Structure 1
């Protein structure tokens, strides 16, 4: 696991500034503290920070082919590298190392841009082929590893694992993209391919970008090379489905166990992480190293479930108690993520990665189970709403439920069954808009109040729902549940979950692998019928059934707990004054983005306990921290 950076000057192939390249590389020291190096030739500069996992002695990068005409820098792991080595050797390629990185170089020589279709793993890489004058970048199937890029005003193309490497260039415009602000306050993150800055982008999952010497990088358009297929399988029995699921899961886990450094697993006690540990225990001779964190607040603590699984599989379990009032990480998080990021579970995620790194360098996680098997509560809610929609035409639903949604009071304080406002509002919409409404951290009417009239004018009618609508239009399925899973695999999974884990783990030089997001496993699971995933209001139905021989019902069928913090209490208590200072900071108010009166109203109502505005206030607080860290050029500032 590593960090990569680079500079490509296709227009003039001018000499690359070594100091600038090394400065870029050094911004990502935390991603690869073992060693780092850079390579320069006219028009091309590549840099790499290394966290050694495989071929510790000879896997240094940048790495070349035999005649040095092809060079790559690579972040990630290629799990099928041994099979690829054998295939490429049989085709006449000569390997000098045992590194998975070298398979990328020779795969490029053999298959060109189609090389990515032969790779199984998590990766982001860049290749320079001098003979062809081609610069090629690619990101893995599901976006496990990040890749950012930008074109500077003088025509140089720059890229890096993290946005901070691009921000090391003073000449990169810091203008904030208004649509990204709208998206951030809807999703809690900025979805791919946008970043918070107008002139910087993320390479989307399953996409590649090809640049040519003599071309204009500003006109280069990323192209998709892989997608989740959602191709239905031939009918199979429930037993056959469960048996094949376990076999495929075991194979995915086994493919990710190779490392020349200590390896273990996160174990929260939830279904997904417990399933990974169960598979690992059957594949390794030594006890599995597992780690979890406990919370001082029992309402958020599930460590006893983790201990149950650890005892069942006799793992070497490590658990540390984290003070629930762990709010000292706010500014640190802003520095880690480089752009606004409002998922407060980044705090415990940072702590569990910190704990894991004390014992291991590689940890397997259970991320991806909810997206694969429809485990989120919001899928159940959305399908219930869709059932109602199917019984009433939109012409009737829109006025009836639209009126009820506007008339019904927002009752955060009431039991969930009486909080019908959001449901009524969702029923007045179609499937995708209703789902967007349900998952938004701040719904449309709240964002309308949060933003100033001037900033709303800059948006020119743009709404963050367009992101989901675009993905829904491209979905290779018309099954309603599958469409929502597809949307999440393009938005929430890479933009929130995988970003959170990548930055938190890399801050501690920890590699995290995600077997449930092995692309071959995802392809197969996507073809299972929706009814096998969500049945009678229960998500992960077939997954849980398949795991019954391996995990107790206490683990499989207990109420799902989020990896969360007592945010509302923090913002009424220990963080109250710092929150007030941040939200009313002139730096924030002078941007012209926000309605100051609504900001003050949210603070007063939340502190008084009249309403729960914790999600909105946290999002604003993290936006303010981003501004202080990055000195952005705000769209509303006169």
Structure 2
């Protein structure tokens, strides 16, 4: 696991500023504390920060082929590199190292841009071929590892694992993109390919860039090489699920257990982390190193459930308790994420990565199980609403439920059956529109109520519903659950989950591997029928059924707790002053995004306990923190 950076020019005579490249690369020193390396020639400069995990002696980067005509900097792991090395050796390539990085250069020599189809892993890499004068930049299929880029005014292109790398360059654009603000307030993060800044982008998961030097065209056109199997019509039978699920999961875990440094796993007490620890324990003869954190508030503490799995498999279990008023990290979040990011579970994720790094250098995670096997409560609610949508034509639903959605008050404090405002709104929409409405940090009516006329003019009619429309263009789903799972993979997984874990882990020099995000496992498991995943009101039913002999019953069938913090209480109590100062500050209001009186009404209603605006206010507060940092630069 590492950090990569680069400067490329379409002009082969362009002189690379070596000191500038080093400054860019060193901005991500936390990602690679074990060393750095550079390749600098006219028209191309590559930088690398290394966290040593495989081939400690020989895996230094940049890494070259035999005649040094091909060079690569790489962040991630190619988990099938042994098989690839055998295949490439048989084709006549000589390997000088045992590093998975070397498979990339030889795979490029043999297969060109098709090399990505041969890789099984998590990766972002920048490869330069000095004979072909071609730059090849690729990101893994599920977006586990990040990559940012921007075409500058001088015609050069800059790359970096994190946004802070690009921002070291004096020509990096720094104008905030109004559409990114709208997307952020909707999702709580900025979905790929946008960043907070106009003309600065994230390479989307499953895409690559192929740039050629000394050609007239200087366009950056990302090309998609992989997608989830959304077109698959076949579904798996009960027998296939029973016979294959555990073995396929175990295989996805096994290929992620290679390391020359201490290896372990996160253990939250939930289904997915319990499954990963169970598989690891069956695959190695020594006890698994497991790490859990707990809170001093019982309703947020899962350590007793984590202990059930740890005791069953006799793991080397490490637990730390976190004070529920652990606010010191909040100011660090903008430094870690580089742009507004509103998932409050980033706080405990940072702490569990901090704990894990004390004991291991590589940790396996259970992320991705809920999205693949429909474990979230929101999936069940969506399908319940969808049953009503299917019975009533849109021409009838839209006018009736639109009016009800506008008239019905937002009753966050009320029992669940009375919280109908979002439901009424969703019933007036299509399946994907309804899902976006229910997932939004601030719903479209709430956002538009807060926006100033000046900002609405800047948006020029844009709203974040365009994110889903773009992803669904040309696609048709017979199964509405598969449709929203697909959307989660394209937005939530990459923009929220993977971003959260990558930045939190790399802040501590920790590598995290995610078996549930193995693309071969996903291609198989995405064919599990929705009726098997959501069965008699039980989410993740197919997975839980097959795990019954591997994970304690209480872990499988208890109510899902989630990795959360007491936001509403924080924002009415110890964070009240910080919240108020950030979202009513001069810098915040000087952006011209919001109407100050509308912000104040939301704030005071929450503080007076009239309404629960915790998610919305936390989202605004993190935007305020970003704006404060930017205004100070």
| TM-score normalised by structure 1 residue count | 0.98
Structure 1 residues 325-350: Cα deviation after superposition (integer angstroms, max 9, x where no partner):
11111110001101110111100000
Using the TM superposition, give the Cα deviation of residue 536 of structure 1 relative to its aligned residue in structure 2, in angstroms: 2.3
> Is the alpha carbon distance of 1:215 and 1:175 closer, same or farther for their aligned partners in structure 2, counting shifts above 3 Å?
farther
In the alignment, which residue of structure 2 is the partner of 1:462?
462
Q: Which residue of 1 aligns with 2:532?
A: 532
Aligned counterparts of 1:22 and 1:408: Cα–Cα separation in 2:
57
2:84 aligns to what? 84
The range that moved more, 186-195 or 526-535, is 526-535
Structure 2 counterpart SS, 1:491 = helix
CA distance in 2, matches of 1:325, 1:474: 47
2:431 alignment partner in structure 1:
431
What is the number of equivalent residue pairs in this alignment?
633
Matched, 1:583 2:583: yes
Partner of 2:445: 445
Change (3 A) 1:100 1:476: farther
1:546 aligned residue: 546
- Corresponding residue number in structure 2 for 1:355: 355
Equivalent runs, 1:94-493 vs 2, <5 Å = 94-215=94-215, 218-230=218-230, 232=232, 237-475=237-475, 477-493=477-493
Structure-2 separation of matches of 1:147 and 1:236? 35
Distance 1:153 1:227 in 2: 32
Larger CA deviation: 564-573 vs 225-234: 225-234
2: CA distance, partners of 1:240 / 1:107: 34
Give a deviation string over 1:299-354, Cα, whole Å, max 9, x none.
11111000010001110000000001111111100011011101111000000000
Q: Separation in 1 of the partners of 2:171 and 2:148?
A: 16
Q: Counterpart of 1:605?
A: 605
Judge conservation of contact 2:397–2:427 (CA < 8 Å) in 1: yes
**3-state secondary structure, aligned to 1:219:** coil
Deviation (angstroms), 1:613 = 1.4
The residue number in structure 2 matching 1:636 is none
Q: Secondary structure at the match of 2:274?
A: helix
Residues 98-151 of structure 1: per-residue CA shift (max 9 Å, x gap) = 000000000000000000000000000010001001001000010000000001
Matching of residues 70-81 of structure 1 within 5 Å: 70-81=70-81
Matches of 2:474 and 2:620, distance apart in 1: 32
Provide closer, same or farther for how the CA distance between residues 157 and 392 of structure 1 changes in structure 2, counting only shifts above 3 A.
same
The 1-side partners of 2:476 and 2:375 are apart by 21
Deviation at 1:288, TM superposition (A): 0.2
Q: Secondary structure at the match of 1:34?
A: coil
**C-alpha separation in 2, matches of 1:236 and 1:173:** 48
Shift of 1:614: 1.5
Alpha-carbon distance between aligned partners in 1 of 2:237 and 2:340, rounded to the nearest angstrom: 46
Q: TM-score, normalised by structure 2?
A: 0.98
Query: 1:194, CA displacement in angstroms?
Result: 0.6
User: 1:484 Cα shift?
Assistant: 0.7
Q: Secondary structure at the match of 2:461?
A: coil
Q: Distance in 2 between matches of 1:398 and 1:476?
A: 21
**Distance 1:378-1:478 versus aligned 2 partners, 3 A rule:** same
1:552-607 Cα deviation digits (max 9, x unpaired):
22111110012111111111111111111111110110111111011111121111
- Asked whether the equivalents of residues 587 and 631 of structure 2 are also in contact (C-alpha less than 8 Å), the reply is no
Distance change >3 Å, CA 143–CA 216, structure 1 → 2 = farther
Output the CA distance in 1 between the equivalents of 2:474 and 2:46. Answer: 34
Tell me the equivalent position of 1:563: 563
Separation of aligned partners in 2, 1:165 and 1:272? 33
* 1:183-222 CA-partner distances (Å, limit 9, x unpaired): 0000000000011100100000000001110246751200
CA distance in 1, matches of 2:602, 2:522: 42
What aligned pairs does 1:508-519 form with structure 2 within 5 A after superposition? Answer: 508-519=508-519
CA distance in 2: counterparts of 1:32 and 1:256, whole angstroms: 20
What secondary structure, in the 3-state scheme, does the structure 1 residue paired with 2:125 have?
strand
